[in-house]
């Protein structure tokens, strides 16, 4: 696992010994819907100006869309805008998932430093350790309305295996709690619309897990959606309470192996783009794809806002924007 020593990876050159998969998980399960090429109708925002924007977030009060780029910039663009604004620069080349709090703070995962908060006062490291262990390889974050932050740590820092964690951080007490451990590469995180559960993507198992925050089953976890038609990366809650999940595809006939999460093309990961919309009960509602990667390729996040789907991509130099088709 030396391949992930310098930055956060979803793949590397060697499958860790701690990971095991049934034979049918060696390649992406089949699509549960016909390929439709809907993503080829997307436009590209800021093409050539954004360096590997993995994730997107929105401040629903102001309408600004945010992204974090690999050259350390937090950038934003107004609703229906066409020009990205450089908001804040972070001394990092390892910015991944981000979200916006009710107070307007930008929360971003830095796979070297941990969980960061960015506002007009500068950059603050909120979490650098969890239970006395490094919070390196922080990957994705979701802010709840009560101020708590939920984020993933993708790998076990001590032995660099793919066993990750879902963590809750309470800014009012500065305390972190591990909600789910031993996740086979913890990735995207999203709090539900009603704030009663949080979902974390378990990339190497082609599934997402659900941790219940409220009700009689509070504190329990279960499978949210299983046998996804691709490796789940980032997940975002939609206005109607469903979820958008960006999926990466393994080429047919190749085994699931670690490949570095960077711009390098590899023979194992397909250049196609695929996103699915999953209901709050975990059932797949619909999906959109670019079966050739001709317009949208290697989409790593999908966020719905005001009738549009915004898509980040870790191999791309733009954010995609798709006007959601009313017929779907």
Q: Which residues of the chain have pLDDT under 50?
A: 1-26, 258-267
- Alpha-carbon distance 235 to 97, whole Å? 10
Give the pLDDT confidence of 234-246 residue by residue, as tens digits. Answer: 999 999 999 999 9
124 domain residue, yes or no: yes
Full residue range of the structural domain in which residue 194 is found: 2-323
Beta bridge partners of 214: none
Output the domain CATH number for residue 37.
2.120.10.30
Give the pLDDT confidence of 140-154 residue by residue, as tens digits. Answer: 999 999 999 999 999
Residues 6+ apart with CB under 8 A from 217: none
In the DSSP assignment, the letter for residue 260 is: -
Q: Is the pTM of this model over 0.85?
A: yes
38 φ, ψ to 5°? -60, -35
43 domain residue, yes or no: yes
7 domain residue, yes or no: yes
328 domain residue, yes or no: no
Q: How far is CA 63 from the centre of its chain?
A: 20
- Alpha-carbon distance 309 to 291, whole Å? 18
Q: Structural domain tally of the chain?
A: 1
Give the pLDDT confidence of 284-312 residue by residue, as tens digits. Answer: 999 999 999 999 999 999 999 999 999 99
- Alpha-carbon distance 44 to 155, whole Å? 32
- Alpha-carbon distance 117 to 124, whole Å? 5
Sign of the dihedral defined by the CA atoms of residues 23, 184, 188, 222, in that order: positive
Nearest to 310 by CA among 325, 298, 324: 324
60 domain residue, yes or no: yes
- Alpha-carbon distance 159 to 147, whole Å? 32
């Amino acid at each position: 696992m030396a391949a992930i020593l310098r930055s956060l990876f979803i793949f590397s050159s060697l499958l860790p010994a701690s990971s095991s998969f049934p034979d049918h998980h060696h390649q992406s399960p089949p699509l549960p819907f016909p390929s439709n090429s809907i993503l080829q109708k997307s436009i590209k925002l800021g093409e050539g100006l954004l360096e590997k924007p993995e994730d997107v977030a929105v401040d629903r009060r102001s309408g600004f869309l945010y992204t974090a780029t690999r050259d350390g910039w937090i950038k934003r663009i107004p609703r229906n805008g066409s020009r990205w604004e450089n908001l804040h620069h972070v001394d990092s080349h390892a910015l991944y998932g981000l979200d916006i709090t009710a107070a307007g703070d930008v929360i971003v995962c830095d796979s070297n430093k941990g969980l960061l908060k960015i506002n007009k006062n500068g950059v603050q490291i909120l979490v650098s350790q969890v239970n006395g262990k490094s919070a390196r390889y922080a990957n994705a974050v979701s802010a709840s309305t009560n101020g708590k932050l939920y984020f993933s740590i993708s790998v076990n820092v001590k032995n660099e295996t793919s066993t990750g964690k879902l963590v809750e951080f309470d800014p009012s007490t500065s305390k972190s709690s591990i909600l789910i451990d031993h996740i086979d590469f913890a990735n995207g995180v999203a709090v539900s619309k009603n704030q009663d559960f949080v979902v974390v993507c378990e990339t190497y198992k082609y599934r997402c897990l659900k941790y219940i925050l409220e009700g009689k089953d509070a504190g329990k976890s279960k499978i949210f959606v299983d046998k996804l038609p691709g490796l789940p990366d980032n997940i975002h809650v939609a206005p109607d309470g469903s979820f958008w999940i960006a999926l990466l595809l393994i080429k047919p006939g190749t085994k699931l192996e670690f490949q570095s999460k960077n711009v390098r093309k590899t023979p194992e990961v397909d250049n196609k783009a695929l996103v699915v919309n999953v209901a709050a009960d975990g059932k797949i509602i619909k999906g959109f794809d670019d079966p050739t990667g001709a317009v949208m390729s290697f989409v790593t996040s999908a966020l719905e806002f005001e009738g549009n789907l915004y898509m980040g991509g870790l191999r791309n130099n733009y954010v995609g924007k798709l006007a959601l088709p009313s017929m779907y």
